[in-house]
A = this chain, B = another copy of it.
Amino acid sequence: MRGAMLQTLEWTGTSLRLLDQTRLPAETVYVDLTDERQVWDAIKRLVVRGAPAIGVTAAYGAYMGIKDAPGNAQDVVLRLDQVCDYLASARPTAVNLFWALDRVKRAVRLPPGTPGGGWGEGSGDDVKQKVLAEAIAIHEQDQDFCGRMGEHALQLLLKLEHRDPIHLLTHCNAGALATSGIGSALSPIYVGCQRGLKFRVWADETRPLLQGSRITAYELSQCGGNVEVTVQCDNMAASLMSQGQIDAILVGADRIAANGDTANKIGTHGLAIIAKHFGVPLFVLAPSSTIDLSITEGSKIPIEHRDAREVTHPHGIQSAPAGVGVYNPAFDVTPYELITEIVTENGVWTPRP
């Protein structure tokens, strides 16, 4: 379904091969990671990004962090706890990171109260194999869920008043390169293309790191004739909507609170306000692992603030006076009332009132 798409990540049996997304679109470079420190660094530096892809990467990272650990099952489980805590510190907002690490930890623990105090059964090697199997399961499930999200969201798009080609706008990259499958926000485009539908997609470039122009435009420009892609600066989306150019907006999510408030790439909140103003529907697409029921509302989602140089030195070249203050949050939170629907692998998700 991904066709000639680049591979976001691949488990080789001994290492995790990642496409280095910091170097797109100019260079196609793969890096092989063999230990948890390299995985932490790859997540931190956005070599791999996108909440679902981060989750899969972290799960393999947990395995690589314990694969050479000595000792019995209990020793390996203790080491796994440390590795997971370490990996969880790479980035704070995308909940899929913590969700995936929790899954691998749960996979090797007996239910509480079981004789043995809840430690893993069998030998240290048994624990390692269970962790690897869980990472592979997370990986395969991610691919499956992308296809299911795409199916559900495509049906919603086709019910809207829309043109042919369908005119869509997206922000950042929640595509194939943000997952191990066909993406979250962009998944209905891939599913639709398979059925011969055509799309015209406007990609917000998404400052400061330009994931929209570097990554979304790149992956969609490889889709062949069914997708026409145009890049614009983030501040041009209102101009497009004011001219009635956009049938719908598709975005991903990094964490969704229990009330539906959605943390996603910085700029999503403003885009949602503008979309509401012009009556353009905005869909959030994310696997259910992005929903964090432990957080009651969006204001409680921790927001990562990143290095000032991302803003002041685009491509390493100074564009602001030395010493100026910088505001550089990586995410914002869109209140649920500005979102038309949240779509997961199970279809439309509605928060409990």
Residues of A within 8 A of B (CB): 25-26, 202, 204-208, 210, 213-214, 217-218, 221, 228-240, 242, 266-267, 269-271, 273-274, 277, 311-312, 314-315, 317-321, 323-329, 332-333
Contacts and interface: CB of A to CB of B under 8 A. Distances in A.
A323 B218 CA distance: 10
A206 B236 CA distance: 11
Closest 5 CB pairs of A and B: A235-B267, A238-B270, A230-B325, A213-B320, A207-B233
Contacts of A25: 318-321
Contacts of A323: 221
Contacts of A314: 210, 314-315
Nearest to A335: B242
For this chain, the copies found in one complex come to 2
A277 B266 contact: no
Interface of A is mostly: mixed
Contact of A232 (B213, B232, B327): B327
Contact of A269 (B213, B234, B242): B242
A346 to B, nearest CB: 30
A48 B240 CA distance: 28
A46 to B, nearest CB: 14
A233 B319 contact: no
A213 B315 contact: no
A320 B217 contact: yes
